[in-house]
Amino acid sequence: MLEHRRWASLDAADYGWLRAKYHFAGAGLPVSPDGNAAHRALGPLIVWNDDEIAVGGGFPEHGHRDVEIVTYVRQGVLGHRDTLGSEGTIRAGDVQVMSAGTGIRHSEVNQGDRPLKLYQIWLQPRKAGGQPAWDTRSFPKHDRSGRFAVLASGFPNDEGALPIRADARLFGATLKAGERVRHVLPAAHQAYLVVASGRIEVNGESMNALDGVAIANTAALDITVIEDSELVMVATR
Asked if pLDDT for residue 55 goes beyond 70, the answer is yes
Query: Are 99 and 129 spatial neighbours (Cβ–Cβ below 8 Å)?
Result: no
| Banded pLDDT at 32 (limits 50, 70, 90) | very low
Tell me the three state secondary structure of residue 217: coil
Residues 122 and 72: their CA atoms lie apart, in Å, by 11
Tens digit of each residue's pLDDT (9 = 90 or more) over 105-144: 999 999 999 999 999 999 999 999 999 999 999 999 899 9
Mean pLDDT of 58-81: 97
The confidence score (pLDDT) of residue 26 equals 64
| Banded pLDDT at 58 (limits 50, 70, 90) | very high
The confidence score (pLDDT) of residue 35 equals 60
Asked if pLDDT for residue 159 goes beyond 80, the answer is yes
Q: How many domains does the chain have?
A: 1
Query: Are 168 and 45 spatial neighbours (Cβ–Cβ below 8 Å)?
Result: yes
User: In this prediction, what percent of the chain has a pLDDT beyond 90?
Assistant: 89
User: In this prediction, what percent of the chain has a pLDDT beyond 70?
Assistant: 96
> Hey, how many other C-beta atoms are within 10 angstroms of the C-beta on 109?
17
Mean pLDDT of 11-37: 76
Quote the pTM value.
0.95
CATH number of the domain where residue 201 is located: 2.60.120.10
Distance separating the N- and C-terminal Cα atoms of the chain: 16
Residues 103 and 174: their CA atoms lie apart, in Å, by 35
Residues 7 and 234: their CA atoms lie apart, in Å, by 18
Tens digit of each residue's pLDDT (9 = 90 or more) over 164-199: 999 999 999 999 999 999 999 988 889 999 999 999
Whole domain around residue 115: which residue ranges?
A: 2-236
Asked if pLDDT for residue 28 goes beyond 50, the answer is no
The confidence score (pLDDT) of residue 237 equals 87
Mean pLDDT of 48-55: 97
The confidence score (pLDDT) of residue 37 equals 72
What mean pLDDT, rounded, does the chain reach?
94
The confidence score (pLDDT) of residue 213 equals 98
Residue 27, judged by CB atoms within 10 A of its CB (0-12, 13-18, 19+), counts as middle
| Banded pLDDT at 38 (limits 50, 70, 90) | confident
Mean pLDDT of 187-213: 96
| Banded pLDDT at 31 (limits 50, 70, 90) | very low
Mean pLDDT of 61-82: 98
**CB hemisphere CA count around 183 (13 angstroms):** 26
Query: Are 225 and 232 spatial neighbours (Cβ–Cβ below 8 Å)?
Result: no
**What does 41-73 look like in DSSP terms, one character per residue?**
-BTTEEEEEEEEE-TT-EEEEEEE-S-EEEEEE
Query: Are 229 and 210 spatial neighbours (Cβ–Cβ below 8 Å)?
Result: no
